[in-house]
Amino acid sequence: MYSFLRRPAWLGLHIVVLAIVIAFVSLGMWQLRRLDERRTSNEVAAERLERDPKAWAGGVGDVPPEYTRLTVEGEFRSEEEVLLRSQVNLGRPGFDVLTPLYVDETAAILVNRGWVPLEFDSTPVAGVPPPTGKVAVSGFARYPLDGDTPIESLQGSIVARIDLDSLNRGVAGELASFYLEMTSGPVTEGATPIIDAAPDLTDGPHLSYAVQWFAFTAVSLVGYAALIRSTARRRAGLNRRRGLQPPLPS
């Protein structure tokens, strides 16, 4: 009844289905590994965020681990700030305001002051100016993701990602090799950027993606089994109508 499965066309189909199943299972396992990596990273980040903050004064060798809580004193220079596009707050699109904070005349750190809606689309952002004079801000250290997107025009611009090497060309001083996600600081009059005081330490979409890939695997196997069964029944029915004895199951 199932002898047709040994035919060359079906053998080729077996190989294709097997390759699809292996690919789906591999993608599901990869997502589970990503989930484990993210959970480990989140545990490290949570432990660092629970520590007492340390003062950062712009030392060349003072490069804290990511998510280290810091306090920094300096002066903002709004004329050198940029907007980070494609940021969302409560479902609303907008920008993050990135403003250099100078700890002295030459050393600065880029500070993410928070989210603003799309209408604040030019820099310096007049509607949400930083406080003037020397201020103290608190936050945690972040390091930019690697990327290949070129940034040609920087000062007074909108950027797609935080590239500190490129952003250095648009400021008078030297930016630190990390940036600060501000969690608290002095508030100016008028509208203020919305600060996200806590990093995203959730599991992310990896578990749901893994479940989807394993579901695709199950659908592929069940669908292929159904195709084989329906083909066998159709061939058996043709043999009966022709008065032929169907072959024994092999």
Do residues 153 and 166 lie in contact, with contact meaning Cβ atoms separated by under 8 Å? no
Provide the pLDDT for residue 86: 87
Is the pTM here over 0.75, yes or no? no
| Strand 92-102, strand 69-76: pairing | antiparallel
Provide the pLDDT for residue 156: 47
Provide the pLDDT for residue 32: 97
Nearest to 224 by CA among 66, 17, 50, 63: 17
Provide the pLDDT for residue 124: 84
Provide the pLDDT for residue 105: 84
Provide the pLDDT for residue 75: 93
Q: Which regions in the chain score pLDDT beneath 50?
A: 148-156, 250
Provide the pLDDT for residue 151: 45
Can you list the positions of beta strands (E) in the chain?
54-56, 69-76, 82-89, 92-102, 107-117, 134-142, 158-159, 174-184
Provide the pLDDT for residue 192: 67
Do residues 131 and 188 lie in contact, with contact meaning Cβ atoms separated by under 8 Å? yes
d(CA 89, CA 73): 28
d(CA 99, CA 111): 5
